[in-house]
Amino acid sequence: MSDIRFDGRVAIVTGAGGGLGRCHALELARRGAKVVINDLGGSLDGNGGNSEAAEAVVKEIEALGGEAIANGSSVSDEAGVKKMIGDTMDKWGRIDIIIANAGILRDKSFAKMTQQDIDLVIDVHLRGSFMPIHEAWNIMKEQEYGRIVVTTSSTGLYGNFGQANYGAAKLGVVGMMNTLKIEGAKNNIKINAVCPIAATRMTEGLMSEEALAALKPEYVTPGVMNLVKDDAPSGMILSAGAGAFSMARIVETEGVFVGHGDDLSAEAVAAKWDQITDVSTTRPAFKSGGEHGQNIFAAVAKGMQG
Ligand code: NAD
């Protein structure tokens, strides 16, 4: 097994003042990267903020003999993000890795959720992933090198009571990834998603002490290092928690041609429902929307022949 190293690489980790982001940043630094520690330092619901959390992680990295700088901008503040990218380029002249990890929660049942609860969560998770990646995109293209991780959640992939705002934002970053893996490919930019589970302030009180003890954020980070290494995959969703890792995929059944013209009606679709939803025909995930379209036409061709 060869060592995974990041010597000479410059990484930005958002929300790196605590929890998972701090662990990712420390591990990148241990493995040779220079790291920008971004953290607004606010409360779990996104209020307040100061740069103390980011500065404390910079000190930890320096104590290990690594190099880091603190950045206290909000990931959803355009001017702050532009400054963070500018400061990184002024200091180190390149940006190789971005781990978009910053996040907040505003959990409420959908009936009680306010527009502000929706806007704030989408702002931090979705726009807050878009903005740093977008600002660094042309830099990565010119370098012909970029490794990006977005942070999704089982709530986005599968759902969770009281988290409609969070789930929408978390699947949103997967949608962004799916297109960026295509747009970045020719310039050696790879982008993946991590779906973590870890004991942090986000999950405290939600699980038993025993479960939380098994869910150290340090047990997620080794998976993330594999998503930003030189020979990283692209477009992958890696689930990671408690030292276990798996791959999540969006899959579709084979598809059934129902008919055209008079043969096609709501009732005709209902008559084929069992076949349409037959999971035993599930195929490997598509690599692009184009491939998905080809699948539809393959089902039509097969149905017309049959
Ligand atoms: P955490 O609260 O410890 O870390 C989130 C960090 O983001 C905090 O340090 C916070 O100050 C920072 N932050 C919040 N808003 C910010 C903003 N606007 N700009 C910059 N920084 C900001 O929680 P965590 O569990 O370490 O979460 C990290 C990421 O992992 C989040 O995106 C979260 O949604 C995701 N996640 C966590 C779990 C889990 O089990 N802990 C599960 C699924 C997804």
Give pLDDT, residue 212.
Answer: 86
Give pLDDT, residue 251.
Answer: 93
For residues 268 and 288, what is the distance between their CA atoms, to the nearest angstrom? 29
Mutation pick for ligand 1 pocket among 107, 155, 200 (CB with most ligand atoms within 8 Å): 200
Give pLDDT, residue 87.
Answer: 98
Q: How many A from CA of 100 to the centre of ligand 1? A: 10
List of the chain residues with pLDDT < 70: 306
The verdict on ipTM greater than 0.95 is yes
For residues 174 and 169, what is the distance between their CA atoms, to the nearest angstrom? 9
The full 3-state SS of the chain, as one line of letters, equals CCCCCCCCCEEEECCCCCHHHHHHHHHHHHCCCEEEEECCCCCCCCCCCCCHHHHHHHHHHHHCCCCEEEECCCCCCHHHHHHHHHHHHHHHCCCCEEEECCCCCCCCCCCCCCHHHHHHHHHHHHHHHHHHHHHHHHHHHHHCCEEEEEECCHHHHHCCCCCHHHHHHHHHHHHHHHHHHHHHHHHCEEEEEEEEECCCCCCCCCCCHHHHHHCCHHHCHHHHHHHHCCCCCCCCEEEEECCEEEEECCCCCCCCCCCCHHHCCHHHHHHCHHHHCCHHHCCCCCCCHHHHHHHHHHHHHHHHHC
Q: How many A from CA of 202 to the centre of ligand 1? A: 7
- pLDDT digits 0-9 by tens, 27-68: 999 999 999 999 998 888 888 777 899 999 999 999 999 999
166 is an active site residue: yes
Token pair recorded at residue 91? 């200091």
Token pair recorded at residue 50? 């100061």
For residues 126 and 102, what is the distance between their CA atoms, to the nearest angstrom? 10
Q: How many A from CA of 76 to the centre of ligand 1? A: 14
Task: List, chain by chain if needed, residues with CB within 6 Å of any ligand 1 atom.
Answer: 14-15, 17-21, 38-42, 44, 46, 53, 74-76, 101-104, 124, 128, 151, 153, 196-198, 200-203
Give pLDDT, residue 45.
Answer: 84
Q: How many A from CA of 102 to the centre of ligand 1? A: 4
- pLDDT digits 0-9 by tens, 293-302: 888 888 888 8
For residues 30 and 63, what is the distance between their CA atoms, to the nearest angstrom? 11
Identify the CATH number of the domain defined by range 10-248: 3.40.50.720
Domain definitions of the chain by residue range: 10-248, 261-304
Give pLDDT, residue 79.
Answer: 97
Query: Between β-strands 189-197 and 10-13, what pairing exists: parallel, antiparallel or unpaired?
Result: unpaired
pTM: 0.96
Give pLDDT, residue 282.
Answer: 94
Ligand 1, closest atom to CA 18? 9
Mutation pick for ligand 1 pocket among 36, 76, 101 (CB with most ligand atoms within 8 Å): 101
